[in-house]
């Protein structure tokens, strides 16, 4: 992992793309509370950043901490850089830090490919066996449910079957939210926001 406080190259990217307007804090659930001119301004700034950052710079951000990785994941999905899917999946599975996992799930869910669903399944196969760890299992399942709807698949069904991994994970302590549809609704809303930003990005790239 690279650390911004000791890495001038990473620090420069953080100043340019992560911290302006406290972007790293507003990405995710906080963005859903934005409305009117504030929402439009935030989306335009995010789209502009996604247009300016290069693939090499995104790779550097994805070597940083949770703030850098969370922001990079959103910039990846807004710009439609599907070549980063496998890297996002690796970071999700590694769960090397807090707060970025939901962004990874939204990125994979928005890209909407069967390979992205495979990455989510790898995560769930591993972490639903660890009821002591409450990481991003809920949002990953919500992302898989979102993908099932988009792809016409039923990959999530084996986790949700009676006595399946989801039930065993939620039944074990500590206390967890059981309803998978609540997670799906949250991911659906974030994917809608990501798609709106991606449309603005495409318009910017086309010069409209």
What is the average per-residue pLDDT within 158-187? 96
pTM score, two decimals?
0.96
The DSSP element (H or E) to which 79 belongs, if any, is none
Closest CA to 168 of 113, 125, 118: 125
Q: What is the pLDDT of residue 31?
A: 96
Q: What is the pLDDT of residues 91-150, one digit of tens each?
A: 999 999 899 999 999 999 999 999 999 999 999 999 999 999 999 999 999 999 999 999
Q: What is the pLDDT of residues 34-49, one digit of tens each?
A: 999 999 999 999 999 9
In 3-state terms the chain splits into helix, strand, coil percentages (rounded to 5) of 75, 0, 25
Tokens of 125: 């196969």
């Amino acid at each position: 992992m690279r650390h911004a406080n000791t890495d001038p190259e990473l620090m420069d990217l953080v100043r340019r793309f992560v911290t302006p307007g406290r972007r790293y804090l507003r990405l995710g659930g906080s963005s859903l509370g934005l409305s009117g001119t504030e929402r439009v301004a935030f989306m335009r700034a995010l789209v502009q950043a996604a247009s300016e950052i290069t693939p090499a710079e995104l790779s550097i951000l994805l070597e940083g901490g949770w703030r850098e990785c969370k922001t990079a994941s959103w910039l990846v999905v807004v710009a439609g850089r599907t070549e980063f899917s496998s890297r996002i999946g690796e970071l999700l599975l590694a769960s090397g830090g807090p707060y970025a996992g939901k962004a990874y799930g939204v990125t994979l869910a928005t890209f909407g490919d069967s390979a992205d669903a495979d990455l989510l399944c790898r995560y769930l196969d591993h972490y639903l066996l660890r009821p002591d760890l409450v990481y991003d299992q809920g949002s990953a399942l919500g992302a898989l449910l979102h993908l099932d709807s988009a792809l016409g698949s039923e990959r999530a069904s084996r986790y949700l079957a009676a006595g399946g991994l989801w039930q065993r994970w939620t039944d074990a302590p500590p206390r967890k939210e059981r309803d998978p549809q609540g997670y799906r609704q949250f991911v659906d809303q974030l994917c809608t926001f990501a798609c709106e930003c991606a449309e603005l990005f495409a318009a910017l790239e086309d010069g409209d």
